Amino acid sequence: MIGFINLVAPFFLIAYGVKSVQSNLAAILMSTTPLSSTVLGHFYTKNEKFNLIKTFGILIGFSGIVFLFSDNLLIDENNFSSALLILLGSTCYVIGGVLTLKISKKKNENVTGSILIWAIIILIPLVSFVEQPWQNIPRTDSVISAIYLGIVPTGVAWLLRFRILKNNGLIFQSQVSYLIPIFGTILSYIFLKELITFKVLISLTAVCIGIYFVKKADNKKSI
């Protein structure tokens, strides 16, 4: 179950969603993990409860997402469901983090290995059914890329992610999402020439402000 929520579900939801939306829009939607982790952390952890500043930050951040969905230039009836899938996929990462905390007493390597093995067991039949890889002959660079993605950004990254999650908590671990909307918007404009609308900038600002207040509340608590 943890492997499915942490890897399989986000993989399919986000990968399917980004095919129909701009990458900067996907980056902003994926950056909501600190906000959703704050909500789930309040109900499912003992030491990450709501306070006034956190609540204020959550309301601002999610209002930015709601405002983003009103941008008819980027989100319409053709890709509305895709945007929702990306939002759901990013939330699955947070749910997976909550479930992982339940087994935080186990060794880092055991948890990471178990999650990856079960994700592979689940993904192989799904990918075989959808992609039918036996009908294609992959190029050498594609094989090297797949091996690299499996070892470094997945295997090694999950070892680091679980250690940070266990030592610093769910909300702290999700702060990496600070970087996603900012760099996603900038890089998509530079390399993909994607449209940056006024509503995108407003939504990006609201999400960053919301995450800032959530983080500020955590800093005050730790002092």
pLDDT over threshold 80, residue 161: no
- Pull the structure tokens for residue 165: 């999650």
What are phi and psi for residue 189, nearest 5 degrees? -75, -40
Mean pLDDT is highest, among 44-48, 50-54, 194-198, for: 194-198
Q: Is 95 helix (H, G, I), strand (E, B) or coil?
A: helix
User: Which residue carries 């095919």 as its tokens?
Assistant: 19
pTM: 0.72
**Which tens digits make up the pLDDT trace of 176-193?**
666 777 888 888 889 888
DSSP assigned state of 177: G
* pLDDT tens profile 191-220: 888 888 999 899 889 888 887 887 777 666
Q: What mean pLDDT comes out for the span 166-172?
A: 67
